[in-house]
Structure 1
Amino acid sequence: MGGGIYLIRDNDQLVEMTEQAYESEDQLQEFIETYPNLLAGDDIDRVTPRRWLLISREIAISTEEDITQEWALSHLFLDQEAIPTLVIVKGAYKAEIREQVVGQMIDYAANVGVYWPLESIIAQFEVNCREHGRDPEQVFEKFLGLDADEEQFWQKVKTNLQANKIRLVFVADNIPAELRRVVEFLNEQIDPVEVLALEIKQYVSQEGLRTLVPRVIGQTTEAQLKKLSTTRERRRWDEVSFFQEFETRWGTDEAAILRKIHEWAKNQEPITSIQWGTGDVYGGFTIIVNQPGKKSLELFSIDISGRLEIYSNKYSCQPPFNNNAKWLELRAKLSSIGLALPGNLEEFRAPSLRLSTLQDDAALQQVMETFHWIIEEVNQG
């Protein structure tokens, strides 16, 4: 197992909690059923966190062509925008079952809109509510509010199914690197389907205290720029529109920090270029290190949420940082500015920092010097 985390008691005493596997796959499924927020809706969508309405657990999908062919999802949820979220939970994604599970999930996506009538979804929602002693109307009102139009919501579910606007989520306590790469590839290539993995690690103390820590995997910058929530209007950002919107949301002080970083990036041209994104949530810009005849490097991105973010997999495949010694040097440099890369080249991480933490000129200068060092290393590598 991996490292631990620490609980701080009221007397400032630290309680060490070490990573521990779940007793069974069923236990993790029960946790998600009871506490849907484990699906990390605030990480899936940072501006408008996803909220979850459980339709059912262990829900079956069958085809008309072969009624003996039936699949069972671990859970089916809907979010507040009526996007069906298909969840499959496995205790582990070992090599021998990974291909089968990925194929199974793609089968779900291919068949859910054709062989799963809306009436069946509504019926299963109502049955699930009553089995747990809940009134379906009260559950729905709590989810969307008293003034919500229930009929309109269900029709939107049907529309999303017909348009194949769904979300696929692989869940386990450990997502191996091979599955992560498959998820990232699918999420970048399949539109409008959103494909994610969710790692929910369990930590246990000697006293029996338990903590669950979810982490979303699969949201590469390319995928984020492609995927848009249904209620948001697609827009192409540019320097003028982005700075106006950013200042409106975050104020003049934070916008001033953003302008300094943007100006620094422009001063690096033509070694670097600025790529503007599309969309409200992930709209923003990405700094690209250009290397004629070689693969370019995505240095960092800043989006409308006010965060500067990097992706470890963009660096780990890029010379000279695909060398372990250079990787550790890079890791130390980025750690000094608050961006924590994993020690293992194969492990994925997407560290970020809020621009509001760079109010001090010295801190901002250190960030820009660090990325300038990276540019020089890449050009020499």
Structure 2
Amino acid sequence: MSVSSLNNKVESANTEARCAILSFTEQGKFNFTSLDSGSHVYNFLTQHQDATSTSINRVALSGVPLFPGVDSDAESAFAIMTTADAVLHCIEHILWIRFLCDLCRGSDSRGGSADSIFASFILGILATLVLGIFGASIGSTILSSMKIHHASQEIFKLRQTNQEISLDLSVFQANTPEKAKTKAVAIVTLEANKELVSAYKNYRAAKIGYLMCAIICSIALFALAVGVILGIFFAGPLATAALSAAIIGCCASGGSLLFISFVGFIISSMCMAKKQKEAVVHLNKATLYTMVANQISSHPEDYLRNAFSQTVAQQCLGNQRKENMLSHSEVAYLQQLGQNAGQPPEAFPNNTPSAPPPYFSYAENSPPSYEESMRSAQ
């Protein structure tokens, strides 16, 4: 595996990571979070500009200006639930009045014809509304299924990319400073993709909750539509009490399922708010890792002067060290990137030294964690 080949693959993964982060915002296809267009990372994500030490420090200290947005599926579900509940009450009242009138009238059908025509007319209008809401519910179900499928595809793609990079790193020996830099960029990119996978999982979990509510709501509306259609044709004076009771029972069962779906919608909304916050945390880390990887690759001299970037990179190296991806000598070379801070890259030796720098095991001298560095900076 050559340096240029690994660089091209990692650069492509870094670009895909930016697009994946942007897809979570209102400018992407998922529209799960909101991104301030005047923020310091907006141009980095949208126009693919190089990361600077200033932007990295701001992200490390205050986070990415991402915050949970208003999901379109939640608004659609709320509108469907509210409209269906109002129509359900109207249908129940009309059917109960029609049923009680038939019981009181008995076999006498005088004056019932006009009542039946009026009731059928009203129920026809309500049936049209129910079928319209049912179509919207089916559309919401299909849309949620497609979004879950897209999220699963993105998770599979990111995992496949990480697997390919990991296989390349397993045979890539960082025995020169240039190779060490390339391997460091690849490792930080791996960590960014892992955070993106976690963000997609939170998104998928939130959408699955809405999908279940949409399915229950569709079944409820179907039962309600059947009851209304039967009521149009059989809610006359010739209808038996058993048939009228069956119609009301069908509508009642639809109403019960609609109530269950409404409660499920409330629970899903609370779960979604939690998942959005968790997704924002993972997206913050993914953005920071992507920016650090870009800085190491494009502007290593800035990386050598930035303590935050070095801390993030060392933390990523520590995570990969736990996975036995790095040897002792490779870790020593990778640590050179931080130990030679303040020196230009040309000061690094171009040949392999006779003895690598001393290596201290992570158990004795582990790099500071991301949280520890943030507390010390504040």
TM range (shorter): under 0.3
Q: Provide TM-score, normalisation by structure 1.
A: 0.19
* Structure number with higher helix proportion: 2
Structure with more contact order per residue of length (Cα contacts < 8 Å, sep ≥ 6): 2
- Normalized per residue, the structure richer in strand is 1
